[in-house]
Structure 1
Amino acid sequence: MRTFKTNLLGLALAGLILGACSQTATYETADLMNEQASAKNGGFNLSPFGMSGENLAISDAPCIDATSGAAFASSVSGSASALGTVSVSYYNTLTHMVYVFTGLESGDCVKLNSSGGTTITSSIVNGTYSVPLGSWKHGDAFNTIFWVGTNCQTNGAGNTTLLTANYSLVGICTETTLSAGTTEAICEGEPFTLTASVAADGNFTGGTIEILADGNPIPVATAAVTAENKSVTYSGPWTTAGSYSFSARYVPTNMNGYKASVGGPSVVEVKKCDDCDDTSFKYQTEDGLDITFFYNSTSPLTNAEIKFTFPQIKNISVNGSYTAPDRKVYSVNNNGNNTVLTWKGDISCQEGETSFRFIVEADCNASGKAQIWTSASVNGEEVKNEGTPNIVVDCN
């Protein structure tokens, strides 16, 4: 009686690998069979996995790199009284299906399928037999039967056993990355580029690398993966303010063994700028008495109210107003003892900084110093900052 021992753990692992995958593309069974006709005729049956030949593409299931194929090995054993016990463990690499035999003795014979099959004994080197993989994808079934006998002519009871090695191919890992989105919002029309890349072990070519906008199944950018190129870029245009999320994906050919992978998301924030810079306030003065202030707004201001506080200056108003050297006219809080000067007008952020020039005289006190300027506000919001300290002059 023939005895078979199956590595249930290995088969269970293979089942988990297949079960965890998501089905996202279709590969025609006829195409696969045409590619693998010679393998099937030689005793190997490579077939599409799942109903209707659906491809197990994008998946969180395990995958292999250049060195990890053996980690997913399955095994099967068989025995006969004159033959003893023979085992084979099997797994796929990036390019081959590998079978490692144990228990073979000198003179034993190994054939494919049956006693009438092709003899492969001489192809087993140091216990290892390998078969090149042609066109394949993750999850394809690679099924093989080995006939093992005490010699190549025997077929008698107790002299032979069959080893049925059914395996679901483990796809080759790919890693898809998407460059980071904006760290700060960009203005409408401002240039910004996202780059998606894919990498993998082996002679990695075929398939496409794509960038997709959130909620849109049609890529906004796509490129073929070749020996020379494994990336694609997307540069907008960013013409409308909003928040835009993107992801990247590698889509395999279903014939090169590589698994699909995804990257991202990355978010591009776009704002309406009207060509305005960030809010800023500064001043320039040589002597503390001839002072020019500069203000910039992030948005145009209509009928803005700007107040400047000069605690210790001599009166510069005439009939309750002050006309500055730049011809701006200010109202004052106290005619004859003005400390707060107020200007009202429009500020267009598209014309650069708005300047305000004052020429004043110090109203000195017993301390010998005068606080010329201490604060400024725009529409009630203080704009003084660390770069604009109080302006103090020495009266001595």
Structure 2
Amino acid sequence: MSHLRHLVSSGRLFRLSKVPRVNTAVCCHVSQNRPFSTTDRSMTVMPAWVIDKYGSHGPLRFTRNANFPVINYPNEVIVRVHSAGLNPLDVRMRDGYGARSLSMKRDPLNVNSGNEFPLILGRDLSGVIMECGLDVKYFKEWDEVWAAIPPWKQGSLSEFVVVSANEVSHKPKSMSHTEAAAVPYVASTAWSALVNTGGLSKDNCAKKRILIIGGSGGVGTFAIQMLKAWGAHVTVTCSQNAELFVRGLGADHVVDYTAGPVEERLGSLAKFDLILDNVGGDTERWALTLLKPWCGAKFVTLVTPFLQNTDMLGIADGMVQNAATVASKVLKHLAKGVHYRWGFFAPSGPALDEIMEMVDAGQIRAVVEDTFGFSEVPQAFERMEKGHARGKTVVQIRK
């Protein structure tokens, strides 16, 4: 399925990694029956939840006058948001995490002429395409889609959002918008970590032994299902009261981290081909000893100091510190016969195409813990701040 988005009817590649900036009025797709035009004067504002500054003390503000998104590049689409998923990253971004790095990457055309505020949070969306740029051939108006929005772009806690067609995929037919909004960000993160960084695929995963440290969160619950669909043996660490939950998702073996030193019980098991770390902290001290040495085994951690270093030290010094940190860890563990890697979220429409097929085949299901209305976004953030969720928090923009 995903290879189709690379081709136009003539057979040439249309998927663009970088396109020239063009005038909105020129690049908007003109259709006799289109639902609206981004150039219509009446469509200049929309409802959204925004923050006007960073901080945890009530910065969320509802407005009916958020800037309406416009198509600035010919490979962009405007989506009417039906449901938006929240992630722990949204809470951290509200408090200022990554502010310096992300503001450097934000497109001034899409974020208030270079001013990051008011900033719209929300990284997951499920909705309907309302308008397409001229170079968009894989989608059309009224297509139901889902997407994970990069953190340097305006988010999905709004009525409309503009995203690159490269970041969008057709929504699984078997999922409602509420269910679909619970998947893209964690799915894209897990895919990036396990496939792009870890080198796993449906063709090489059978019989591999995988350990997921912190398996009851969003990324962990998705990774369990994906790896089991590909035939891997999956061991998970979680609390005792989450054991039945992760076993229900397919975990083969569960280790309760609250029942004593988890490294001792994991150490008694057969070695692993790959470890996905969602916890960080002291984990690295003992986890890499659980890998098969000199067999290409990998430790992939999603807990990295990348944005924290650049926030504290600035872009240049932070990048130097990051390079030094990862290089020292890579060399240290390579000498022991295992590979150390950092995993990152990476937006990918083609990856979501693959995941959509797995969902519709019944191999992956959404795990939604709480659902809130659009007027209840502050309450949704309060729920996120409590932590230890066994599924996603979803905001229904349109019912």
TM-score higher than 0.5: no
Identify which of structures 1 and 2 has the higher relative contact order when contacts are C-alpha pairs closer than 8 Å and 6+ apart: 2
Comparing both structures, which one devotes a greater share of its residues to helix? 2
TM-score of the superposed pair, with normalisation by structure 2: 0.21
Larger Rg: 1
TM-score of the superposed pair, with normalisation by structure 1: 0.22
